[in-house]
Amino acid sequence: MTKSKFAKLQEKLVIKQSSAWNNFNEKQRQTIFSFCEKYKEFLNEAKTEREATEVIIKTAKAKGFKELDSFENLNPGDSFFYNNKNKSVVLGIIGEEPEFNMTGSHIDSPRLDLKPRPFYEDGNLALLKTHYYGGIKKHQWFETPLAIHGIVMDKNGKKREIRVGENEDEPVFVISDLLPHIDRKSDNKTVRDAFEAENLNVIIGNIPIVKEEGLKEKIKLGILSILNEKYGITEGDFISAEIELVPATKARDVGFDRALIAAYGQDDKSCSYATLKAFLNSENKKRTRFAFFYDKEEIGSTGNTGAASQLMERVVEIVLRKRNSKKTVNEVISKSIVLSADVTSGFDPTFAGSFDARNVNKIGGGVAVEKYTGSGGKYGASDANAEYVSFITRLLNENDICWQAGEIGKVDEGGGGTIAYMIAKYGCDVIDIGPPVLGMHSPSEIISKVDIYSAFLAYKAFFNVTNNEITPG
């Protein structure tokens, strides 16, 4: 059937939004599924920023990467990693030019941290006090099986690693909720008021250590005795500890067609994994390439391992010095191009009223390109220039990569930020690009396999850019 003049006009002028799955044949879809099996393994193995750093470095070493400090001089083709306090990491491959193509993702996720003095006993139970990390809906963490991950430094300064609750033969830990039979007072409360932060107390034991009368907190003492016997630690050692409670569940396929993944930490491990695979599979002799994997994004990128630190300047300065370059750090960064590799919200038809239906990213629609994030009147956004948006979208089109554009939600419904504005302060071009997510910051976020694979293809194409001259399309 011959297309009408107006059908051809519509095809030429109007944005087409369809399922990204339609762009892949059966063989290609199997490649996507295979890619995501490895991704699920990464999610299960790297639930915390320390674990992610370890996995990324291990993967890089297997590809021949060496510590940056081990190089006396850097030459084109050299590949390195920079371990920043075991909580953030940078990968780099030296090109002929000092200017670089860089991605910045983050490897921390919302969770529960232990307070400095977490142990207490009450009601024949031993419990832990927690302080939530990042933006969570507190009610989602009640009655969720949790695992304990982290490190404790003993009295001699020796690091003791703890990871309990991930294996089937290990116990999990739970925050109890009040039974509905005697919880009528909460009927008149908002969800925020009904689930208080100080009630995020984790049950860890029930057996008294002895029957001896007059001995206080015998159940708490029993738990401390177990920890001392296994790890050689005491209650006082937890003041310096970094212990995180994360969902004990494994990454699982969702749906009869297995097209989706439900897992903890996909914000932002989806972008981190896609970046890692794209970086290691890219080829670009001309341009230097960097992949920054940051910590602390979920609490404002603060501290010495977040994007607000001077990690970028430090690494670029070291690289320029080892290349005997006379260019300044700011000169090189300002002429480089960057992707803020972070997720965004996906349209949820159950809560359609929170989205602008004409400016929304759909699950299975491909990788999402967001010119700006922030909230309200674009507060907290870097707002990429039109020239750079055109440059990136043309790159995606030229490489037949499925992509879409939208916003996180309705203008005054809230919002969210990324590290883009922290990188943009150096004068370089930067834009957010990553897969859309359902249930973001929940214990079980949902992503489409085709979207994370599209992100991988997008990051790979970006790393392979040899001409970064940004001009109007």
Q: Say how many C-beta atoms besides its own lie within 10 A of residue 2's C-beta.
A: 5
What DSSP state is assigned to residue 237? G
CB 243, CB 150: distance < 8 Å:
yes
Using only C-alpha atoms, the chain has a radius of gyration, in whole angstroms, of 24
Residues in a beta bridge with 101 = 289, 337
* Integer CA distances (angstroms), 7 to 22, 358, 456, in order: 20, 21, 33
The answer to whether 345 and 437 are in contact (CB under 8 A) is yes
Tokens 């480089």 belong to which residue? 336
* pLDDT one-digit tens code per residue, 113-169: 999 999 999 999 999 999 999 999 999 999 999 999 999 998 889 999 999 999 999
Write down the mean pLDDT value for the chain: 94
Q: How would DSSP label each residue in 161-203?
A: EEEESSSTTS--BEE----GGG-GGGGGS-HHHHS-GGG--EE
- Tokens (6 digits) for 17: 């939004």
Q: What confidence tens digit (pLDDT) does each residue in 320-378 have?
A: 999 999 999 999 999 999 999 999 999 999 999 999 989 999 999 999 999 999 888 88
- Give the single-character DSSP code of 277: H
User: Whole-angstrom Cα distance, residue 235 to residue 155?
Assistant: 11
pLDDT digits (tens, 9 = 90+) for 419-440: 999 999 999 999 999 999 999 9
216 or 138: which carries more pLDDT confidence?
A: 138
Residue 471 has pLDDT above 60, yes or no: no
CB 226 within 8 A of CB 162: no
Average pLDDT over residues 73-99: 97
Each residue's pLDDT tens digit, 221-275: 999 999 999 999 999 999 999 999 999 999 999 999 999 999 999 998 999 999 9
- For residue 473, the model assigns a pLDDT of 42
- Tokens 């203008």 — which residue? 411
